[in-house]
Structure 1
Amino acid sequence: MKIRSHSESHLVELEDGSRWQIFPGDLDLTLDWTPEADLVVVEAAKDDVGSHLLVGVGEKVRVIREGDSWPIREAKDVLKDG
């Protein structure tokens, strides 16, 4: 699925209209994304900090739907551990 919009570093909108918040620890993985990037949305493992992954461009980026909240404790632990 192609990117419709990625004007804010932490948000991406795909061509199907779905909007995703990118995990802060993964923002650097998205810097080279272009509208031609082909991404696939998959469900994340139960123990992952995100609900879904955007897979493509050689990366797996943790995301949640726009408007959802990151699980605070898990997100802090992941960011702390690098």
Structure 2
Amino acid sequence: MGWLAAIVVGGLAGWLAEKVMKSDMGLLMNIILGIVGAIVLSLVLQLTGLGAGAGASFSFAYLITGFVGACLLIFIFRLVRR
């Protein structure tokens, strides 16, 4: 996925995660959470044999992976912050 597409999809995934998890992180943090969440969850899925690998173009799977990964990162951040 190209950088611009990763930023847009990451921002969308982070924004969705922010709404679902009821947090207020801001636009930049949404983008970071979406991209990092997608990378981390993709790596975990590949290590467990469940991942399909990264594609070169936008895919709905990347958006879902980024969303779930961002939700997990928000959850972990809340656990550590306590």
Q: TM-score, normalised by structure 1?
A: 0.24
TM, length-normalised to structure 2: 0.24
Higher relative strand content: 1
